[in-house]
Structure 1
């Protein structure tokens, strides 16, 4: 069964809540297979991802997981897994990928992260682009997410934002070799052109370049 059909089947048997609900009620309603977010008390169902999105998502997830695990830096998680942003924002977002440093591991609950992770990666689709670049950019900045990567497979464009001391995001560009170096994941770097190769490069080959194997 396709993810689209699976998603449709879930909401046929488990209808969306009516009206506004609390975050705790939202957690009780959704389960580990539910792709939805909590926005100002309302449930927002997410659109299933396209194949191109899925490929880049898996590539980055495997790469980040391997690096973080090798260096015992924390934990890498992926959707569906909620991030509860600070109370003032009234948001429960579901990033594609999030990295939680060892320092912030105590904020990880069984089904959600209670507060901002160190890094969030969103891989855009035509449906999510405005939300990822607009609403979520503002929310992640206000919440104190230290790094935000916005990956657009359709435009072959990667944007990297880093939280400055004054609490606002600053755009960080890859160097002249096209390499982006993370600040929150010590020693990790990404050759941005890897993301646009078809087929994508072998994760094993990339891990060799990172010096992991």
Structure 2
């Protein structure tokens, strides 16, 4: 994740839609953040495996799993899409309320979000996005640390993320807000490079 654009303009979704397709950005409270170039293969393997397991677990259920890039618009109130100033693209997400889905992606907080950390995005995902997802009511937020092989889990309780829970990437971990989803780590962990 790059630095915010160097201008002082407050951006919104109408600006975002007008930007060139070859440059990907996320908007957080009107600040535009250039997204890093395509993630490395290990990052994609982790995100893809989590998405696959979630999608298979939800087959025939109401909830739907998605993998980036999908625009998630997070309105502050009930403003029109064009005025929304926060649009993110989580690595993996699940939405259980079909009224939040439209042709442009998701409008409103997903139930579960997973971000796979890389050196260029770790601080952004661990601080800025953690605060953002808490504020918008994402029920469960996972940060997967492929280098350290650690999972950090935040769960929303009374509108706040409490102390995070830490797990090693082995065995299995159930998504508490989506009990049908259990992520199994062992095979994936064997595919991660030792020096990643």
Shorter-chain TM-score: which interval?
0.7 to 0.9
Closer, same or farther: CA 26–100 of 1 in aligned 2, 3 Å:
same
Alignment gaps of 5+ in structure 2:
1-6, 78-83
Q: Which residue of 1 aligns with 2:150?
A: 157
Report whether the alignment pairs 1:41 with 2:30. Answer: yes
Q: How many residues align?
A: 180
Q: Is the 8 A contact 1:141 1:169 kept in 2?
A: no
Structure 1 residue 133 displacement after superposition: 0.6
Report whether the alignment pairs 1:26 with 2:16. Answer: yes
Q: Which residue of 1 aligns with 2:161?
A: 168
* Greater relative contact order (Cα < 8 A, sep 6+): 2
Report whether the alignment pairs 1:107 with 2:100. Answer: yes
Closer, same or farther: CA 195–111 of 1 in aligned 2, 3 Å:
same
Report whether the alignment pairs 1:85 with 2:78. Answer: no
Q: Which residue of 2 aligns with 1:211?
A: none
Alignment gaps of 5+ in structure 1:
1-16, 201-213
Query: Which structure dedicates a bigger proportion of its chain to helix?
Result: 1
Q: Which residue of 2 aligns with 1:127?
A: 120
Closer, same or farther: CA 172–18 of 1 in aligned 2, 3 Å:
closer
Q: Which residue of 2 aligns with 1:136?
A: 129
Q: Which residue of 2 aligns with 1:74?
A: 63
Q: What is the TM-score normalised by the length of structure 1?
A: 0.73
Q: Is the 8 A contact 1:73 1:185 kept in 2?
A: no
SS in 2 for 1:197: helix
Q: What is the TM-score normalised by the length of structure 2?
A: 0.79
SS in 2 for 1:162: strand
The match for 2:51 among 52, 57, 61 is 61
Q: Which residue of 2 aligns with 1:188?
A: 181
RMSD between superposed Cα atoms in Å: 2.8
Closer, same or farther: CA 76–174 of 1 in aligned 2, 3 Å:
same
Please identify the structure whose Cα radius of gyration is greater: 1
Structure 1 residue 35 displacement after superposition: 2.9
